Structure 1
Amino acid sequence: MDVLPVTSPAPGMHHGMHRNSPTSFKLPPIFRRIHRFQQMDFEQAAWQLTYLCLAPKRVYRNVYFHKQTKNTWARDDPAILILIGACLCVSAVAWSVVYSYSIRQIIMLAFLMILRDFLLVGIFNATLLWFFSNRVLLSPPSHSTPGDARVEWAYAFDVHTNAFFPFYLSLYLAQLFLVSIILKNNWVCLFISNTLYLAGFAQYIYGVYLGLNALPFLVRTELLLAPLLPLLTGYIVSLLGFNVAQHVLPLYFGS
């Protein structure tokens, strides 16, 4: 993680100095402060998680205030990571009840959900978004463009974090309550199953779009919605007889 570019140059800093500066490569504050529970604002994090489902655009209105006060677009409070981790632990326990897992298997499943599904996938997606945004979506330089008009890696990880929670509600929580229905062999159950997966991935893609669209120096952010087309195409084709849950759940839970 110490090789990920996460900071923006300070106002007035020469671009060449920024590229050669060792401070350009360091762990984002949201990870460095993960152990400082007394400084975390869990109430604000809970508010953000709620509005990520009800009105996600409201969450991104705060990034302007954060940029003005702390000179960074990315959040530095890891409370939201703790809350999502706790939600994944609860899901791990619930899914373990469904599959009659042992205590050891419950712990392993919780680590799998947190470390692989959320963090490792998030690091990969954030790196991809950071690279794509800075290479393709930056607006052409102009006199009005600020010197630090680049997407921070930490902000790209924020975008993943925000987009992950609605995805979690669809495929880790709602799917749990519907598991006895979506695994049945009839077309109605297939339709419910595949629609659930469509909703989860579509929410993630749309959440990513909203996060990067909130940055004023990015253009053509509608390109981020392009994965919706193959997703919808695959969904329509799957309704001919391919139940996604019947194939994904045995692979995930090994049964």
Structure 2
Amino acid sequence: MHSPNSISSSRTQSPLGFSYAGGSTNLPPPATHRGCLTAAAKRYRYLRRILKCHQMDFEFAVWQMVYLFVSPQKVYRNFQYRKQTKAQFARDDPAFLVLLGVFLLVSSAGFGLVLRMSFLEFFLLFLYIVFVDCILVGVIIATMVWYLCNRHLLKPGVSQDNRVEWGYCFDVHLNALFPLLVLLHGVMILLYHAVIGHDWTISMVLGNTLWLAALGYYIYITFLGYSNLPQLRSTRIFLYPLTLLVILYIVTLLLGWNVSTTLINFYRMT
């Protein structure tokens, strides 16, 4: 016979041992939960779906991209729903990554037109932007933040199953990267010949302000991504780089350094 207290405890204790939204009641395991998959199994299932376009939800991926500008909190709210229903925070649908690749192809073509590149130069630039600027830098940042979160920011008593997923860290990077790319690889290219590429003071101010907005978006969306995780504490540290960013912005204006022109010249030499 079980005592009433033990019955009550068994009803509220989740096998995942996880509490959401700071509440005191643990949620039950998701209906689709079949035990926690290993990281390798999740990665294999994710990459396999890239080859199956009919299984991707592109409409929802577009919604996420729009709301990363309008209301990024809503995007991360969906990540919480995924944890409740699929026992993982990280995306299991590669549609967002595929659409990001399409955007990089279009923006690289824009760079190619601005820089008057040959097809081979454009193709090499596209490969550089995808595999270095996006993937390699993303892997480095995601790994560093993953280590920081699991080593120093976890709340006491968090179980092994509820440690921060590396895949989620990479998703946060992609979320934060998209607005940055739109501003620096989209808006900047459209304005480059008309304004930004000239030796005018307004050109420098506009170009550097685009960088300030782009990196500010990246930092803020990154902060939202980790403040969304209830197992983490002291997530305000992800906002600290904003102070350094503003200082660097002022320094570039005082030095008369057009950062956007520097990026264009860098890609020209790549």
TM-score range, shorter chain: 0.7 to 0.9
Partner of residue 168 from structure 1, selected from 177, 181, 186: 181
- DSSP-derived class of the 1:239 partner: helix
| Aligned-pair CA distance for 1:24 | 5.0
SS at structure 1 position matched to 2:131: helix
Alignment of 1:245 onto 2:239:
no
TM-score by length of 1: 0.86
TM-score (norm 2): 0.82
1:92 to 1:24, Cα distance in 2 relative to 1, 3 A = closer
- What residue number does 1:155 align with? 168
1:193 aligns with 2:213: no
Question: Which residue of the partner structure matches residue 179 of structure 1?
Answer: 192
Gaps of 5+ in 2: 1-14, 18-36
Map Cα deviations across residues 196-246 of structure 1 (whole Å, 9 max, x no partner).
Answer: 111111111111111111111111101011111111101011111121122
- Supply the distance in 2 between the matched residues of 1:126 and 1:70 (Cα, whole angstroms): 22
- Rounded to whole Å, the distance in 2 between the matches of 1:109 and 1:252 is 7
Matched residue of 1:194: which SS? helix
Partner of 2:85: 69
Task: Please name the residue that 1:235 is paired with.
Answer: 249
Task: Answer yes or no: is 1:218 the counterpart of 2:229.
Answer: no
Whose radius of gyration is greater, 1 or 2?
2
Q: What is the letter of the counterpart of residue 100 of structure 1? A: R
* Counterpart residue identity of residue 131, structure 2: L
Deviation of residue 108 (structure 1)? Answer: 1.5
Equivalent position amino acid for 2:245 in 1: L
Q: Is this contact kept in 1: 2:125–2:267, CA < 8 A?
A: no
Q: Give ranges in structure 1 of 5+ residues lacking alignment.
A: 1-9, 13-21
**Which of 102, 115, 129 is the equivalent residue of 2:118?**
102
Conservation of the 8 A alpha-carbon contact between 1:182 and 1:190: yes
2:219 pairs with 1:205: yes
Shift of 1:109: 1.7
Relative to structure 1, the CA distance from residue 91 to residue 130 in structure 2 (aligned partners, 3 Å threshold; closer, same or farther) is same
How far apart are residue 25 of structure 1 and its match?
A: 4.9
Aligned to 1:117: 133
Letter of the aligned partner of 2:236 in structure 1? E
Instruction: Give the letter for the 1:247 counterpart.
Output: T
Contact 1:11 1:147 in 2 (8 A): no
Q: Is the 8 A contact 1:41 1:79 kept in 2?
A: yes
CA gap of 1:37–1:72, structure 2 versus 1, over 3 A, is same
**Counterparts of 1:116 and 1:230 in 2: how far apart (Å)?**
24
Asked if residue 30 in structure 1 is aligned to residue 84 in structure 2, the reply is no
Supply the RMSD in Å over aligned alpha carbons.
2.0
Tell me what 1:18 maps to: none
Shift in alpha-carbon separation, 1:157–1:66, aligned structure 2, 3 A: same
2:182 and 2:230 map into 1 onto residues whose CA distance is 29
Indicate the percent of aligned positions where both proteins have the same amino acid.
41
Amino acid at match of 2:150: N
